Structure 1
Amino acid sequence: MINSLFAERVAKLRTENNMTLETFGELIGLTKSSVGNIEKMRKPASLDVVYKIAEQFNVSIDYLLGRTDNPEINK
């Protein structure tokens, strides 16, 4: 999935949490370059990666995908 809003939100969440590309990649099982490619929309993120990103930042997948501007997970 390549979506500019997704890429922007991943980058924003990563930087707001003071994570480097390398640190974030290690947490979700990707290389530094893979995370950079996702943030620059050069590489699509698999559903598994989208899920891991949402879990890492405790936000909803709908927020990451731009379906809502509310990052909270509805339970």
Structure 2
Amino acid sequence: MTIGKRIKELRTEADLLQSELGKAVAVSSQVISNIERGYTKPSTELVNRCAKYFGVPADYLLGRTTEKYSTTEQKEAPALSAKIKDRMDQLQLNPSDLITKSEIPEDSFEDIMTGTVIPGIDVAGRLSKALDTSIDYLVGNSEYSCVIASEDEQDIILRYRQLSKKGKRIFLGMMEKMEEEKTE
């Protein structure tokens, strides 16, 4: 499903006109219409505003997850460049490695890191992929930098959430034991 189709689906579920959604996210109804029909790709900023308005992760709108609900509460969004730098540190990537991996021109990368440019959807997508994270993490909608990579991982997370506090402690103990056995 495309970004436009997901936005249209959420808009119709909320029983909103294109003009009402446009007003809520500070664009014209024509922009909403063009996005829904696939004529226009929304900016990262607009995707983030739509996601916030509907209470869904930006990655849901982008088709990178099927989960409509964030795993965390919305918090004050940290600067995009700070999130990129944090993730680069976690992965031990230097700027030139990230530029090469994401195929973003060096001057564009520098503009993003100084905060003078907000990247479009395509660039944000390439950055999140190169950093092995979600756009939601980069824009501050999620505090978790990991992306769920498979249905198996999602099943594990969903089952973990259903466990009692004691069950969670037992599960984590089993995971630690498996990790110890792996290193032996």
TM-score, with structure 1 as normaliser: 0.91
2:12 is aligned with 1:35: no
Aligned to 1:64: 61
Aligned to 1:45: 42
- Matched residue pairs, number? 72
Percent pairwise identity: 29
Whole-Å separation in 2 of the counterparts to 1:20 and 1:12:
12
- Which one has a bigger Cα radius of gyration? 2
Whole-Å separation in 2 of the counterparts to 1:49 and 1:62:
13
Whole-Å separation in 1 of the counterparts to 2:4 and 2:41:
10
Aligned to 1:10: 7
- Give the gaps of 5 or more residues in structure 1: none
Return the offset for 1:5. Answer: 1.7
Which of 25, 47, 57 is the aligned partner of 2:22?
A: 25
Return the offset for 1:62. Answer: 1.1
- Give the gaps of 5 or more residues in structure 2: 73-184
Return the offset for 1:29. Answer: 0.4
> Higher relative CO (CA 8 A, sep ≥ 6), structure 1 or 2?
1
Moved over 4 A (4+): none
Which of 47, 54, 62 is the aligned partner of 2:51?
A: 54
Whole-Å separation in 1 of the counterparts to 2:30 and 2:58:
22
Return the offset for 1:34. Answer: 0.6
RMSD in angstroms over aligned alpha carbons? 0.9
Q: Secondary structure at the match of 1:67?
A: coil
Return the offset for 1:44. Answer: 1.2
The code of the aligned residue for 1:72 comes to Y
